[in-house]
Structure 1
Amino acid sequence: MENNEYPTYVFEERMESIKKNLRNYCNETLNLHRKATSLLTNFDEEIVVDVVEKSKELDISGHEIERSCIRFIAMEQPLASDLMYIESSIRVISHVKRIAYLCKNIAESAATIEGIEIPDKIIGDLEYMADYVQIMLTRGFGSFCNQDINVARELAVDDDKVDDLFDVILSQTTEILTGKTEYALEIVNIIFIARYLERIADRVVNIGERVIFINTHKRPHIEELKKEE
């Protein structure tokens, strides 16, 4: 029997609450990334501690939003696009939680290279990479919250740029490591930071793919695999 009362006022209110909490969650993670990457040029031990603690808080709050999504499915039994949005939100939250922990990793690695003489070119490229990922985060989170499929489709191109930056930084740091340096272990952490940034970009692409899936019912990487057959 068709439910003429769907969606109810309570349904819409709970749906909007989830969307609001998810927007706030993304904004807090965006700020966390900005704070973590600022340590690359302006190190502050207190900020490292703050980033580590905030990443733990975001893990907890992300879990709470996931629970509210599951509770919403159980109580409201959403249909079609609403169900797809809530299910995708759970997956997106998982990506955002991981991004928060990658920010923690960046902050901790930044502490290991503090005070070490690193070529300006490497630091400059690393800072540029961090800024580029910050833009990707802004666009990726916005694409999901606003269901902007055009922006979501552009994220894969942005990710290619981040991959290129990683290759440049890897090449430069490897060149240093092949020579004599007493800071070999510390220099390796530059590669780790670049790798963490690259992984954040990959997570953003995953978020964009959820936007595309919600609006087209197709997963980009699956469609690519089909073309290869």
Structure 2
Amino acid sequence: MNIILFGPPGAGKGTQAKRLESALKLPQISSGDIFRTISLERTPEAAEIRRYHDSGRLVPDDLTIKIILKRLHEPDARNGFILDGFPRTLAQAKALDQKLAQEGKKVDLALYITSPIEVLVARIAGRMTCPNCGAIYNAATNPPRNDSICDVCGHEVIRRADERPEVVQQRMEAYRRDTKPLADYYRAQGILHEVDGSRSIDEVEARVDDAAGLRKAV
């Protein structure tokens, strides 16, 4: 099964992608995580990614497509994947569809996780991330048990550079301009499932599980 998750920053895509990874035994492929890893390298490509990442702008389509499609060729993604944060533009979506079609595959499910802007801004303002294992916390609603130490792996959690207020605004504008139109693209294919990410955790998880076929009819 090939699944993509998209939506505005702070909607909860990463959290749901990790849940699906565990339930479906498919790799979660996060474009953000991949870019953050590459940005630590000392290469021209890494420097370019850092410039876009730190300013809240989207990495250009050609570079993003090259990096993500290369990742999809790795052995663990042969039988399916969960894409978190890619595609983010129509050009990326079409490139993904074209590549999958060449291999006799397709996107099976497009999960569009939405939420009111004020909810998203509040979430991002308090968000903390473990750079080691990827666990996500929120200072107000879901803090780590031991101050700034990850509950999962014991690494120190951080606040990301792209979650500063001025950068968040840039990311929201990029979402409205480039990513929101993907809803119509996948709706036309009949594979779009929209989930209100501002609902309770149980409700969001139930909707996601229903869409992925994880909940059995009673």
Same topology, TM > 0.5: no
Work out which structure has the larger RCO, using CA pairs closer than 8 Å and 6 or more positions apart in sequence. Answer: 2
Greater C-alpha Rg: 1
Q: Give the TM-score taking structure 2 as reference length.
A: 0.26
Whichever structure has more strand as a proportion of its residues is 2
Q: Give the TM-score taking structure 1 as reference length.
A: 0.25
Whichever structure has more helix as a proportion of its residues is 1
